[in-house]
Structure 1
Amino acid sequence: MSKAEPKVGKKKNEAVETIVVVIEALIIALLFRTFLYQPFSIPTASMQSTLMIGDYFIANKWAWGFGKYSFPLPLPFNGRLLSFATPQQGDIAVFHNITGDDYIKRVIGMPGDKIQMKAGRLYINGTMIERQQVGTGEDIDSGKTGVPVTIYNETLPNGVVHTIQEISDSDQLDDTPEYIVPAGHYFMMGDNRDRSADSRVLQQVGYVPLDAFIGKAEARFFSIKNNLPPWQLWEWPANVRWDRMFQAVNQTYTKTPAP
């Protein structure tokens, strides 16, 4: 029996080392997710075609510091920790919504801005925002219902150009009252303007406080059609969107003012 004892001890040591390695890996993953980057997926059509149903992306958790919803469980404090920047017009942001869900939309209105939709056109502080038609397409929602859309490049007041799409200029949220964004809040809108519940719907989203921001969307790392689960590897050949992987979530650029 004495000859077998070292082997038993060695097996116990290996088991303990394995458990320690697993625990360390979980702690590192938790710290990475909490303080650096968090993965998200897109289940709805509200940001198409910038972010399509079945896109997976990472959000930068430290871009605007850390708020109460930056952590796995909300913490009881107000404000942001280690904040050296704030969201800007054109940023795509993940935030904790008043419904208790995490939403992703684009920052359109800054604190104090006046926002309104008139006949499908966006007005910021009384000025109609420039848009230019760049094409047409078909938008397919989570119910696999397709509708024709017109695609535009929209130029925000700070010069950021991004893509939006419209079913028409006479849809439900294409004519709204004027919204005045409160201090410390932001006005968020989806790029798929006629299929987005956003700050235009005050009872569902409304003005988003800075405290509610979770992170800034940065890059897609996976994309699959029909919102199929990524673990279904046999579905990959026909459904993975290889051309959407490992790309910035939005090809925005800043328009240089004319001389």
Structure 2
Amino acid sequence: MAKAEKKEGIWETVKTVFWALVIAGIFRTLFFQPFWIPSGSMKDTLLIGDFLFVNKMAYGYASVSCPFSVCPISGRILGSDPERGDVVVFRHPTRGVDFIKRVIGLPGDRLQMVEGKLILNGEPVKYEARPDFVEVKAPQGSQQLMPRCVNDPVPQGDDCAKGRMTEILPNGVSHDVLNITDGWMADNTPVFTVPEGHYFFMGDNRDNSEDSRFPAVTGGLGFVPAEYLIGRADRIMFSSAGKSLLYFWTWRPDRFFKAVD
């Protein structure tokens, strides 16, 4: 009798774990997806080592993760369209990897960068001066990426600065953008017209972001079709500046549960 009860108890545990994994998989597939920030393209809004959950229902798309180079989203269920200024995770249309950038251009918009400033539908976007963004010149994250600095060459351990301005979009959304090099290749661009059903994305760290300013035919991002949007980044849940999550002394408690603006 004792052996039968023990066997039944083990089987119940296995069933419980199985259904818990099934429910977690469904929850992840339909509602939220974890995402680690691997690069500095969205500084200072998002830092390398930030961890967040992506709200996959924000735009009404339910996506299924897949390993193939092209993995279209299964379809729209409900929700609103992306708004200018949203920080969004999406599937790269040609590489099959997840990116995170900010929505700058909506369908039908005309955009151009002139001397590092955004021209949107023929009107210059407003900017406000901010103090420099300063971080330590040291390897960051699991990839040990070294930050670029406007004051390079900078020895490791010293302050690495980037110019910073607040960009104010026409809908009132404001966010900081960083500048490392004046006259960078993407500081001056042709006029981009966003096709219907597509979006134009840019990183906040403007001189360190591979985004829609670079066409897909040359290996860049280009315009992103709506069906490749995964969801909106709303809140940072956890953040670590170290190479490993286990290095608790590198955790950034001031960024825990921080809203993504």
The size of the alignment, in residue pairs, is 238
Q: Secondary structure at the match of 1:26?
A: helix
Query: Is the CA contact (8 Å cut-off) linking 1:138 and 1:146 kept in structure 2?
Result: no
2:216 is the alignment partner of 1:223: no
The match for 2:90 among 95, 108, 113 is 95
Write out per-residue CA displacement over residues 73-113 of structure 1, whole angstroms, 9 at most, x where no aligned residue: 38987773213311010000000002111000000000011
Unpaired runs of at least 5, structure 1:
1-5, 251-259
Q: Cα RMSD over matched residues?
A: 1.8
Q: Residue 60 of structure 1 contacts residue 216 of structure 1 at CA under 8 Å; is this kept in 2?
A: yes
Q: Tell me, in whole angstroms, the C-alpha distance in 2 between the residues paired with 1:225 and 1:62.
A: 29
Please, which runs of 5 or more residues in structure 2 have no aligned partner?
150-160
Q: After superposition, what is the alpha-carbon deviation per residue over 1:129-160, rounded to whole angstroms, capped at 9, x for unaligned?
A: 10111110236675223403111111111111
Q: Hey, what's the Cα distance between the residues in 2 that align with 1:146 and 1:186?
A: 28
Of 52, 59, 63, the match for 1:57: 52
Structure 2 counterpart of 1:143: 145
Tell me, yes or no, if structure 1 residue 170 matches structure 2 residue 183: yes
Q: In structure 2, do the counterparts of structure 1 residues 193 and 33 end up closer, same or farther at CA, with 3 Å as the change threshold? A: same
Equivalent-residue separation in structure 1 for 2:75 and 2:210 (angstroms)? 26
Pick one of 18, 25, 41 that aligns with 1:46: 41
SS of match in other structure, 1:10:
helix
1:189-236 deviation per Cα after TM superposition (whole angstroms, max 9, x unaligned)? 00000000000011220001100000100111111114x232x2xx21
Query: 1:19 is matched by which residue type in structure 2?
Result: V
Tell me if 1:35 matches 2:17. no
Given that 1:113 and 1:124 are in contact with CA atoms closer than 8 Å, whether structure 2 keeps it comes out as yes
SS at match of 1:150: strand
Q: How many Å separate the matches in 1 of 2:197 and 2:169?
A: 20
Share of identical aligned residues, percent? 39
Structure 1: distance between partners of 2:254 and 2:72 = 41
Q: Deviations over 1:154-199 (max 9, x none)?
A: 1111111111111133112101111110010000000000000000
Q: Match for 1:118: what amino acid?
A: V
TM-score, length basis structure 1: 0.87
| Contact 1:57–1:249 under 8 Å retained in 2 | no
2:165 corresponds to which residue?
A: 152
Q: Is the 8 A contact 1:198 1:205 kept in 2?
A: yes
Q: Which runs of 4+ in 1 moved over 6 A?
A: 74-79
Q: Within 2, Cα distance between the matches of 1:119 and 1:192?
A: 15
1:187 and 1:15 map into 2 onto residues whose CA distance is: 53
Aligned twin of 1:253: none
**Residue in structure 2 matched with residue 183 of structure 1 by the alignment:** 196
